[in-house]
Every structure is written in C-alpha cells, then in structure tokens.
Amino acid sequence: MDALSEAMRAVRITGALFFNGEFSAPWRFVTPAQDEIGPTISPDSERLVLFHLVTEGRATARTAGHDEVDLEAGDIVVFPHGDAHELWNGRTSRLFPGTRLLPKLANGEMAAEKWGGDGPVTRIICGYLGCERHAESLFLRGLPALLKTNVRRSPAGAWIESAIRHCASEAESQRAGRLAVLAKLAETVFVETLCRYMDELPPERTGWLAGARDANVGRALALLHRDPARAWTLPDLARASGTSRTVLAERFAQLMGESLLAYLARWRLQLGARLLLSTNRKVLQVACDVGYESEAAFNRAFRRTFGAPPARYRRERKAGQPTAAEP
C-alpha cells in the first residue's frame, strides 16, 4: 500500500517545465506568487507548486520570512505553496526581465534565456505542478514554504535529471510529443522530491507525509484513498493495516492531528465538492458515490464544511462566485 500514490491519483495534477535559464554571475531573478503567475502558466489550476533544478553552478534561494538556502548542481528547490521567491548568484540590482517570457508561457512553451554578467555560469531548469485545492490537505499539508533535496544522490534522481536536461536542450525542436514528455518529467521530479523528503524526515516529525511514511498509518491512508466510499470502521482499518485499533487510533491522531474517521469524513466531502463541479450527477448520486447513506446527511455535513448546501455550492462556483467557506 502506497498512500502517496493513492492520494496523488485522487487529485487532478498537471505539470510542465517552462524555463531553461543560463545565468552568468552576477544575476538575480524573482518569481511572483502563484496568484500572479498561475493565470498565465496554468489557468485551470487552483494551486501551483513551483520548483527549480540547478544543473550547473551555484545559486541562493529565498522566500519572504525564511532563511537563505544555498544551492549547488543537482539540487532541486521546491516552493510547495507557490510563494513568491528569488534566486541569485552575486550582488546586482539588475533583475532578469521575466515579463519577456510571458508570450511563450501563455502558449505552454518552454522558454530558453541567457542573462547576467561575465562571471561563473549557473544553469537552472524551472517547472511547476498545478493541482486542485485538495492537495493542500494531502501531500502538500505541513510542508515548509521551501524545501530542498539533491537528485544526484540516488540512481533514480540522476536518471530524472539526465532526462530533463536532454528534453530541455531540445525545447526549440518541433518533435511531436515533446510538451507531453516535459509535463510528465515535471510531475516525476516533484514526486521524486517528495519521496526523498519523506525519507529524510526526522522521526519526531508530524503531518501528512509523516503519516504516509508510517507503516500502519500509511496503509490506513492508502485504503481510505483507494476506496473512500466504503463503510470503514476503525476495527476494519486496523485489521487491514495489521495492527490493533488502539495503536492505529493513537498513532494516526499523533501524526495527522485528527482522528482517522474525522479525516475520512473531511476527504469524502472534498471528493463530493469535486464531483459537484466536474459532473452533472444529482446531489443524491454524489452523496452515495462518496459514502453517504442519505442526501440529507450529506447536505448537513457539506454545509458545515463549505458554508452552503451542495446545490447552491455547485451553482455559485460554476457562476464564479465564492462560497461562504472553503475547507
């Protein structure tokens, strides 16, 4: 059972590599927050994860309110919540004019640019992962504003970097399928980064990824995400996870910050919200699809979480109106 894979299958994800930069020191560039850049590079995504892979040279990264992070070749720096950030090497007041990338980004193309002075060269490939808001309560939950790992420390990571460099070097070619390959590579590099981050978590860390890494909690999470509509009970999940219900309940609460059944109820409602917006199914059918025995029970729970009953939520969201509350 792989909780991370099951969770990622449950969230609509798109990815792309969008920038291949060659910078000579001194240089500096700023990436706006997801709210500013998202409508251009991924207008259908509710959340944007931004990342940069250093393939040669050195750089420093920083986002507001956090310490600087030094980067070297093979490092990937990820901004899981799409925060505005900057990268640089050397001192300069001149910013890379990122606005000139907009036409290519709007067309879904990969831009290649050179910029900077006459110092040491740093090569960086930038990408993003676009996903639904539900990702914030799953594999993005509890992640810091910035995280770093080095892909060259594992054979799989080294292969991914090699493939990305090869595809980026052919960004200007017109070979069929190249954009699809770049999109899959962007998703792959993000998953690899998450896996390495999970492996490096200290034993005392809590949060979704810590729960997914735990043998018993991870199996329970995978089961819930694989079959959320099943009438799960704590004893059922404990037996399927190979532990006692007391141990599972305590460990789940410790790592996840809520009870197992509370987590399941919240996830069912998020799935219900997605079905309301992505299908024309009646509210009763949606309720049944996510594990509710009656439309009335679904309506009550949905209104408590989203601030509006399902039918009104669907109507207002499709009309572009914000609802009273979002989880």
The CATH number of whichever domain residue 274 belongs to comes to 1.10.10.60
What phi and psi values does residue 81 have, to the nearest 5 degrees? -105, 15
The stretch 99-127 carries a mean pLDDT of 85
Counted domains in the chain: 3
Report the b/e string of 211-229 with b at 16+ CB within 10 A.
bbbbebbbbbbbbbbbebe
pLDDT the model gives residue 1: 61
What phi and psi values does residue 241 have, to the nearest 5 degrees? -95, -5
pLDDT the model gives residue 173: 59
Expressed as residue numbers, the domain containing 269 is 262-318
Strand ranges inside the chain, DSSP E: 13-24, 27-31, 47-56, 58-63, 69-72, 75-79, 85-89, 111-116, 121-131, 147-150
Q: Which residue has the higher pLDDT, 75 or 157?
A: 75
The CATH number of whichever domain residue 250 belongs to comes to 1.10.10
pLDDT the model gives residue 159: 79
The per-residue pLDDT for range 195-247, each reduced to its tens digit, is 888 888 888 889 999 999 999 999 999 999 999 999 999 999 999 999 999 99
25 and 170 co-located in one domain: yes
193 and 60 co-located in one domain: yes
pLDDT the model gives residue 117: 93
pLDDT the model gives residue 188: 85
102 and 136 co-located in one domain: yes
Lowest mean pLDDT among 16-20, 106-110, 285-289: 106-110
Outline where 34-101 has alpha helix (H). 34-41
Outline where 135-207 has alpha helix (H). 155-169, 178-200
Q: Are residues 176 and 126 in contact, defined by beta-carbon separation less than 8 angstroms?
A: no
Residue at 233 is within a domain: yes
Q: Is the dihedral of CA 260, 265, 266, 268 positive or negative?
A: positive
